[in-house]
Structure 1
Amino acid sequence: MKGYERHDEVLNTQQLLLSIIDLATQRGAHPDKLLKGTKLFYNDLTRVNVNKKPVTCSANTLLTVIENCSKLVKGNEISFLLGRRYFPSHLGLLGQALMNCRHLADMLRLCQCFQLDCFPLMNLTIKTFNDKSYLIFQSAVGKLSSNQQIFITEFMLSALLGAMKYRCGELPELKIHLDYAKVQHIEQYHVHLNMNNHENIQFDQQICMLTIASKQLYLPFNDSANSLKVLALQQMRQVAKLNNKHYPISFTLQLIRYINQGLANNVAVSQECCAQHFGYSSATLKRKLASHSLNYQGIIDNIRSQQAIFQLIICHDSNEKIADALYFTDVSNFRKAFKRWTGMTPNSMREQQCFF
């Protein structure tokens, strides 16, 4: 199945775009300025389609509106307000299915299965170690600007935590690690994320993720109805079939999964091998990556560095164990690569990181 790219108009985000524009308009921004650079007009989003088909857009369009919003609107609360109203009202049949999941783990699995509909710009990966689970966020559509990264991360956190509180009755104990510098609007995090302990939000971390006790993910929802979940999913499949719609992941994520699998099995993952796997020439693959502001070696370095950082600061593995897991010939080469990836040695990162 072909993965969607940044320019492909496959995102069913008409309601999301209208919500962003309406929230920004209420704060003084003009709709035309918010849509500048998208080739869309506000009337395009509000017009009723006689065929009852939603207006679709590309990731580039959504990212452009987010960038415009971040520059035009002061206050930095729109991302949080957007996330708080996202579940379940913005998700239609998928929202109904999520409402009737057995527990949080079931909800997260469904979010991963329907990533295009749930969080089209970000990818959610779940890792476990000892008694904790780590929800790791990464861009699903290539490189993001600082404004886009912060806005989308705040939106995802607000939506996820809002869904957790809605279904659990109260917010489980969480810890948030953000891979960008501390923002000036930190009070918005405390207000909208309902994090009572301010120390549970840390900036300038090496990985963007949310930490939760694994047992919290499997506490049953007593009011869930599996029959309603199954019905909603069946209706989604029927609608998808009528509209000839599939649920692909992004081209970027397809590429990352291919490289991940190759690295995990110590199989050659050269750019030439990757291009051949996806049916492209090396030049075509290079052009596609450039359109996402990426390059092939950079993706490999990012995958290996993220794995190394996780093993180092979460699993507390030794340099030798990490080097072996990443198939380095010796520890010295691993140290050199780690410093090239992160700007510091493994031992320096151990001393500086304060993961709790």
Structure 2
Amino acid sequence: MKHYFEQQDKVIKDLTLVILLVDIAKQRGIHPDKLLKGTKLFQHDLSNPNVAISQQQFSQLIYNTIKFINTPEIPFLLGSRLFPTQLGQIGLALSNARNLQDMLRIIKCHQSNIFPFMFLVEKRHQGNRYLIFNHAITIESDDYHIFMCELLASLVISALKWRMKGLPELHIRFPYQRPDYIEQYQAYFAQTFRFIPKIESLFNRSKVTGYLGLQISFTESLMMKLFEESSQIIKNYHLNQLERKRFPVGIIQSILQGFETCYEQHNEVTLEKVAASLAVSPATLKRKLALHHTSYQHLLDLYRQQQAIFQLTEQGHSNEKVANALHFSDITNFRRSFKRWTGLTPNALKQAFEGSS
């Protein structure tokens, strides 16, 4: 069995998001058949426990939602409805976790069941914890990217509000420019959010970078703060009801995590090493990535740009330290690559982010 899956593979078994979207559409007078157009799904499929869907089907549903419903509150509404009642055994387990550390452990173990479309990377710096979410299966359009970030942020904040009896002190950085419908963000996230600064060269005439992930940060002390209500016995009971087999992850997630492993083990990343980790030839990997709307170089740039911007803007590292961490041969080569990624020098981008805080 492959340890990764692709956009055409029907491995997504939980249709909760699909059902919720159909219900929301019906409430707004949109027939389910219209919303499901092009997905190769029908209404009777939604009540069949044996039906699984692919990323292609799901992304078509999201595009239909954006086209036919076309109201900005939909992803926020979806995210806030998912936890805890719509997540089944996992939701019940999360509702009985002892603290945020416990919740994150469950989420990382069962990511493919909870939200297979995006994956979590954790970082720590000077007493702060950073949760960074990237797309796991394919690279889609700006509209899809924004929809999914809004949905996932709403899901995370809804879960925190539920378990912590209110919104804790945290910061959300959305990986795109400030949208026009800012009222939705204010209603769901209070004043805890910010956006990427408006830098024309960074966005290449697009409103998102296609690189930076959704980032949620808070102090380490929040991780161990005990929830008022929890039960390890009930939590373990519901976790034991879940399948114990290891689920595959999306191909993009597998490759981005492979970059990390290559740097740790070999101090370099090559197309050949990444292809070997997926048990395919370099030519086959190139073809696969083209079908997922990306390329090997694009994903390598994505990985290195994310690392560089985090180290520059959050950790305050010098250009030399970042260049060394990313295994560039010299500082000039790093600056040249960084300018190719963003259109700015590292120092100029750092100043732009500081001005937007």
Using the size of structure 1 for normalisation, the TM-score is: 0.91
Which residue does 1:30 correspond to in 2? 31
CA deviations 1:284-332 (Å, max 9, x no partner) are 1112111211111111111111111010000100111111111112111
Which residue does 1:231 correspond to in 2? 237
The amino acid that maps onto 1:295 is: S
Q: Is 1:325–2:325 an aligned residue pair? A: yes
Shift of 1:266: 4.4
Contact 2:130 2:215 in 1 (8 A): yes
Which residue does 2:7 correspond to in 1? 6
CA distance in 1, matches of 2:151, 2:14: 14
The amino acid that maps onto 1:204 is: I
Out of 225, 228, 231, the position equivalent to 1:222 is: 228
| Unaligned 5+ runs, structure 1 | none
Contact 1:164 1:170 in 2 (8 A): yes
Which residue does 1:126 correspond to in 2? 122
Q: Percent identity?
A: 39
Shift of 1:27: 1.9
Shift of 1:207: 4.7
Contact 1:266 1:327 in 2 (8 A): no
Shift of 1:24: 2.0
CA distance in 2, matches of 1:166, 1:277: 40
CA distance in 1, matches of 2:44, 2:238: 31
Which residue does 2:219 correspond to in 1? 213
Using the size of structure 2 for normalisation, the TM-score is: 0.91
Which residue does 1:271 correspond to in 2? 271
Q: Is 1:295–2:301 an aligned residue pair? A: no
SS of the residue corresponding to residue 92 of structure 1 reads helix
CA distance in 2, matches of 1:250, 1:341: 24
The amino acid that maps onto 2:97 is: C
Q: Is 1:86–2:89 an aligned residue pair? A: no
Contact 2:196 2:353 in 1 (8 A): no
Q: Is 1:105–2:97 an aligned residue pair? A: no
SS of the residue corresponding to residue 327 of structure 1 reads coil
Which residue does 2:206 correspond to in 1? none
CA distance in 1, matches of 2:279, 2:77: 42
- Over the aligned positions, Cα root-mean-square deviation in angstroms equals 1.7
Aligned residue runs from structure 1 range 30-49, under 5 A: 30-46=31-47, 49=48
